[in-house]
Amino acid sequence: MAKNQEGLTVKKEENFSEWYSQVIDKAEITDLRYNIKGFVVIRPWGAMTIENMYKLYEEALQKKGHKPCFFPTVIPEENFKKESSHVKGFTPEVFWLSKIKGEGKLALRPTSETAFYQMYSLWIRSHRDLPLKIYQRANVFRYETKATRPLIRSREFYWIEAHNCFETKEQAEKQVQEDIQTTEEIMHQKFGIPFLPMKRPEWDKFAGAVYTVGSDVLMPNGRMIQQPSTHLLGQHFSKAFDVKFKDENGKEKFVWQTCYGPAISRILASVISMHGDDQGLIIPFCISPFQVIIIPIFNKDNKEKIINESKKIQEKLNSLGIKSEIDSSEKRPGEKYYEWELKGVPFRIEIGNREIQEKKITLFTRDTRKKEPLLIKDLSKIKKYGEEFDERLKSKANKFMKNKIINCKTKQEVRKIIKEGKIARVNFCSIAKDGEKCAEYLEKDVNSEVRGTLANKKEKTSGKCIVCGKPAKEVVYIARTY
């Protein structure tokens, strides 16, 4: 479509930021030339990938008892005001509509707690209505004042938000753990993106939450990015929005709430960044728009015959549940190889005269860049190869992250590790309010953030806080962030 095929002019290791800008443009994931700051166009190659990501994510949520819904994009200001920390946290980021006759001030949703929960107060009456687990796939809007970056921090982005209600705090906390598990199943096991589930320090939690768990992913530039977060909202919102139920003894109680927000477009940014190489994208087999690109190698005389054979191969792949496309354009095969490698398709099938005679194809694998012959009768092996493909991407990413987490005993060590684009694991006084001063010190002095403690495993410590020297209650992870 566009003429961006001049290829990447920079290596990922040498200049990640420029590599990222080039790859999302040249592989036609996004187009940044839309004429409003911070709003980007997601092109078909990006949109098809995002749709596949949504599909896997929604299937996982539905399996765990969530049901979809669609709420209005617009939320009255009065709703925001009901929960006091929420209004403080989000108001600066809100896009407002111009005044409309008969309505108060209306916001474009930055997130939808204050849209959902007034309805929950109408829908929930009895313990029989609980648990209530509902999500929506939605676009949300935040008036970012920081520099925007395509897919990473845009003023409009694409996410899922799940809003759940329970009878007890225990059930709600179990949901937070289930959400971490969902992130693990989908973002890590499927998309190949490892993360640290970080219980955030008190001063860094979601506006309105009791506590927040953010899934931190390390990007190749050594900065951590927050991926899906899940929040124990406790009864803050249920009290503000009057969401009550009658328990088995007929006693009225406020529900316990959680919410979970995987930002699909942002996760795509991590998928692109983690797996890509100097030739371009590498998209996991399980979410690639096509899993196989078929390149017929023909001349004038045998074009029809070879395209026909390609179609037969595509039919076989279809019947095996493998998504493919034939590139029968007039470009030279080399150009086509180049373009589809840039776009990150996991496998390429080359088929020419020789292949047809020998009843085989040539199979190119995007990540290993190996070519090998494959008998046409063995095409079904590509399914297994696809699983191995995703397994390789995941292992590589796991290794990348694991090697970057470094135990540090002093501020000097932290400073060094952060400079190297790694994550410092340290003893720290506290992630409650009383630890904030030490965190502020690190932010200024070491230019890094206390991301929190592991949320799915208690790490014991008997050491001292690396900043203030007081007995450390926590093991925290420190990194530079987006």
Shortest distance in whole angstroms from residue 273 CB to a copy of itself: 20
Helices (H), 368-429: 381-402, 411-419
Segment interacting with a copy of itself, rule: CB under 8 A, options 65-73, 218-226, 250-258, 341-349: 65-73
Q: What is the C-alpha to C-alpha distance for residues 86 and 114, in angstroms, rounded to an integer?
A: 9
3-state secondary structure of 199: strand
Shortest distance in whole angstroms from residue 259 CB to a copy of itself: 17
**Structure tokens belonging to residue 321:** 């549940």
Binders of a copy of itself among residues 97 to 156 (CB under 8 A) are 97-98, 100, 102-103, 106, 108, 115, 118-119, 122-125, 128-129, 132, 134, 136, 139, 141, 143, 156
At 15, the amino acid letter reads N
| Options 6, 14, 33, 147; binder of a copy of itself; rule CB under 8 A | 33
Sign of CA dihedral 56, 61, 65, 70: negative
Q: What is the C-alpha to C-alpha distance for residues 240 and 114, in angstroms, rounded to an integer?
A: 10
**Structure tokens belonging to residue 429:** 């006084």
Q: What is the C-alpha to C-alpha distance for residues 68 and 136, in angstroms, rounded to an integer?
A: 5
Shortest distance in whole angstroms from residue 340 CB to a copy of itself: 15
Q: Taking CB under 8 A as the rule, does residue 67 contact a copy of itself?
A: yes
For residue 110, give every residue at least 6 positions away whose Cβ sits within 8 Å of its Cβ, in sequence order, or none. Answer: 90, 93, 94, 140, 141, 142
- 97 touches 74 (CB < 8 A): yes
Q: Taking CB under 8 A as the rule, does residue 48 contact a copy of itself?
A: yes
| Options 20, 24, 57, 79; binder of a copy of itself; rule CB under 8 A | 79
Question: In the complex with a copy of itself, which residue's Cβ is closer, 294 or 418?
Answer: 294
Burial class (CB in 10 A: 0-12, 13-18, 19+), 458: exposed
- 263 touches 159 (CB < 8 A): yes
Binders of a copy of itself among residues 3 to 22 (CB under 8 A) are 3
Q: Taking CB under 8 A as the rule, does residue 338 contact a copy of itself?
A: no
- 165 touches 124 (CB < 8 A): yes
Indicate the pairing of strand 449-454 with strand 196-199: antiparallel
Question: In the complex with a copy of itself, which residue's Cβ is closer, 68 or 373?
Answer: 68
Measured in whole angstroms, the distance separating CA 42 from the mean position of its chain's CA atoms is: 15
Q: Taking CB under 8 A as the rule, does residue 39 contact a copy of itself?
A: yes
For residue 319, give every residue at least 6 positions away whose Cβ sits within 8 Å of its Cβ, in sequence order, or none. Answer: none
Question: In the complex with a copy of itself, which residue's Cβ is closer, 1 or 147?
Answer: 1
Shortest distance in whole angstroms from residue 151 CB to a copy of itself: 11
| Options 7, 10, 18, 43; binder of a copy of itself; rule CB under 8 A | 43
Size of the site for a copy of itself (CB under 8 A): 58
Question: In the complex with a copy of itself, which residue's Cβ is closer, 13 or 315?
Answer: 315
| Options 71, 223, 392, 404; binder of a copy of itself; rule CB under 8 A | 71
Q: Taking CB under 8 A as the rule, does residue 68 contact a copy of itself?
A: yes
For residue 468, give every residue at least 6 positions away whose Cβ sits within 8 Å of its Cβ, in sequence order, or none. Answer: 429, 437, 438
Measured in whole angstroms, the distance separating CA 79 from the mean position of its chain's CA atoms is: 28
Shortest distance in whole angstroms from residue 87 CB to a copy of itself: 16
Binders of a copy of itself among residues 154 to 193 (CB under 8 A) are 156, 158
Selection from 428, 414, 410 nearest residue 464 by Cα: 428
Q: Taking CB under 8 A as the rule, does residue 326 contact a copy of itself?
A: no
**Residues forming the site for a copy of itself (CB under 8 A):** 1-3, 31, 33-37, 39-44, 46-48, 50-51, 67-74, 76, 78-79, 95-98, 100, 102-103, 106, 108, 115, 118-119, 122-125, 128-129, 132, 134, 136, 139, 141, 143, 156, 158, 329
